[in-house]
Amino acid sequence: MTLVIWAEGRLVGSDEAALSAVDHGITVGDGVFETCTVLDGRVFALTRHLARLARSARGLGLEAPDEQKVRDGVAAVLAAATHEAGAMAPESHSARSPWPRNERSPIAGLKTTSYAENVVALADAKAKGADESILPNTVGALCEGTGSNVFVERGGELLTPHLESGCLAGITRALVLEWGAEAGLPVREAALDELPFSVLDDVTAGRAQLALTSSGRNVQPVTWLDGAPVAAGEITLAVREVFEKNCRERLDP
Ligand SMILES: Cc1ncc(COP(=O)(O)O)c(C=O)c1O
């Protein structure tokens, strides 16, 4: 993979200094970021990603970035990049995180560069043979993954934790809810107390199924949880089909 970097209005080499070593975002991590999927050389859902970038910045007390400037940067990067079609992994192996997400944190729900907690939780999952760590929040509710949202398939429905659980308002999560409903599938946001973290016991017992969503994963069934093989859910697979079809037809939903 070739790395293409754009900073402050120009493309810079990967070995070139582009930020000051005392930039506040570097020293303390009060920065914001987005990760987008590129489909056929074009960014998927860029308008939603830019809106969230601005929301995250405002949540940190930072001025929102100049949207046109970021769009110009994205265009410059895409023009300079070679587009290799990277396949998304079709499924995930997940492990429960020993640490909770603090849903009362002032940065809960913001996509900030203060991601060290996520890095540590993900490393824990990797050490257990998984590729994602699933976090509770401080009151024992199911929350999200380190870089993904979670969905639970149970009782003929596909449910995702309420945003007040402290999870990020994932763009894939929102589109799964919107496009799933549009396709007549039983997908909805759960009530705040509807998905305790212990629902993962139902997953390992085969009474429920788990799925992850993110820009890097799309819709991914979890097929292994804490060492136990678990089955993909039928609604999950149907939603994945709808999502993958729609994202090719609606580039900036
Ligand atoms: C903590 C966290 N939750 C959820 C997501 C999924 O969000 P999206 O679907 O917008 O990629 C991400 C994305 O990186 C994330 O970092």
For 170-206, the pLDDT digits (tens) are 999 999 999 999 999 999 999 999 999 999 999 999 9
Strands 218-225 and 92-96: parallel
For 145-166, the pLDDT digits (tens) are 999 999 999 999 999 999 999 9
Average pLDDT over residues 123-135: 98
More confident residue, 75 or 88: 75
Q: Cβ < 6 Å from ligand 1: which residues?
A: 35, 144, 147-149, 167-168, 170-173, 213-215
For 7-35, the pLDDT digits (tens) are 989 999 989 989 899 999 989 999 999 99
Average pLDDT over residues 212-230: 97
H-helix or E-strand spanning residue 222: strand 218-225
Q: Given ligand 1 and candidates 149, 163, 178, 212, which is best to mutate, with the most ligand atoms within 8 Å of its CB?
A: 149
Distances (CA, A) of 34 to 46, 75, 135, 164, 234: 10, 15, 21, 21, 30
pLDDT, position 82: 84
In the block, tokens 């069934």 appear at: 221
Whole-model pTM: value is 0.96
CB 64 within 8 A of CB 58: yes
Nearest residue to 79 (alpha-carbon basis) of 90, 71, 89, 88: 71
Count how many residues are written for the chain.
253
Mean pLDDT, the chain, integer: 96
Cα–ligand 1 centroid distance for 51 (angstroms): 14
Q: Counting atoms of ligand 1 from 1, which one is nearest the CA of 144?
A: 3
